């Protein structure tokens, strides 16, 4: 994005905040997992109501 000048506190330069491994894990947990569950349920509904298998389990 836009580079800001590093801040200084009592003569020490403070690095800018950056995403951590925990932040990435929480994003995957809060966004990826519900999305995976919703799409899995949609695939299951398609199979039950229309007889069309669109999920990965159809390959087995």
Please write down the HEC assignment for all residues of 1-38. Answer: CCCCCCEEECCEEECCCCCCHHHHHHHHHHHHHHHHHH
Residues 6+ apart with CB under 8 A from 38: none
How do the pLDDT tens digits run along the chain, 60 residues long? Answer: 566 677 787 888 888 888 899 999 999 999 999 999 998 898 888 888 988 887 776 765
pTM score: 0.58
Domain boundaries, the chain: 24-54
């Amino acid at each position: 994005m836009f580079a800001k000048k590093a801040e200084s506190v009592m003569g020490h330069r403070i690095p800018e905040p950056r995403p951590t491994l925990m932040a990435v894990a929480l994003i995957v947990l809060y966004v990826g997992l519900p999305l995976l569950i919703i799409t899995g349920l949609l695939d299951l509904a398609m199979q039950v109501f229309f007889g069309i298998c669109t999920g990965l389990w159809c390959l087995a």
